Structure 1
Amino acid sequence: MDEAAGTLTRADLAESLHREVGLSRADSSNFVEQILRHMCEALSNGENVKISGFGSFILRDKGERVGRNPKTGVEVPIAPRRVLTFRASQMMRNRIVAGR
């Protein structure tokens, strides 16, 4: 993981596969890309993605609503849209809390 930024990247995942599983760097990178591509395709087809012990990527359709500009107070209609949310599994939440 890129310690300076505190962000786990695709390259970090591929490097971890290379180190821990023994796949070549190219195969590790392709493997990570295939998994992410498969997840993206499922989500773009309207399917939720659940990874046991990690969490769920859930699509929600939000209806049209009225919003308000906080600076001016003017009401503005907000169009209906689909949003992606992530809900961590209980196991993941417990690991995060224990890591403090």
Structure 2
Amino acid sequence: MTKQDVINQVSEKTGLDTLTSRSVIESFFSVVKDALTEGEPIYIRTFGSFILKKRAAKLARNISQNTAVRIAAHVIPSFKASRAFTDQVRAQEVTGEKK
């Protein structure tokens, strides 16, 4: 599913025109990005959490050149689904086919 598919479904379910739905979806993404950039997590009940995860510094290997590469400590954005969301997905039958 693409962002345009999400916008179309939101338009159908809410009765809003596509431009308004696009604006709402884009604004939501912007708010999430801005909040995480400022270090503030976002918790949405029954959906999940957008959080920052800290990664420690580590030593990695460049196999093609057989050298060690030091990767500095860094922070990455992450999404953790809520239990209700996870349970809902697990309850679905797995078909193995993609649309």
TM score, norm. by length of structure 1: 0.79
Aligned-residue CA RMSD (Å): 1.8
Percent identity between matched residues is 28
CA distance in 1, matches of 2:77, 2:18: 31
Which of these residues, 74, 86, 92, is aligned with residue 85 of structure 2? 92
TM score, norm. by length of structure 2: 0.79
Q: Which secondary structure state, in structure 2, belongs to the residue aligned with residue 53 of structure 1?
A: coil
Which of these residues, 4, 12, 17, is aligned with residue 10 of structure 2? 17
Structure 1's unaligned 5+ residue stretches are 1-7
- Alignment length (residue pairs): 93
Which of these residues, 47, 50, 60, is aligned with residue 43 of structure 2? 50
Q: Which secondary structure state, in structure 1, belongs to the residue aligned with residue 76 of structure 2?
A: strand
CA distance in 2, matches of 1:88, 1:73: 39
Q: List structure 1 segments (4+ residues) > 6 angstroms apart after TM superposition.
A: none
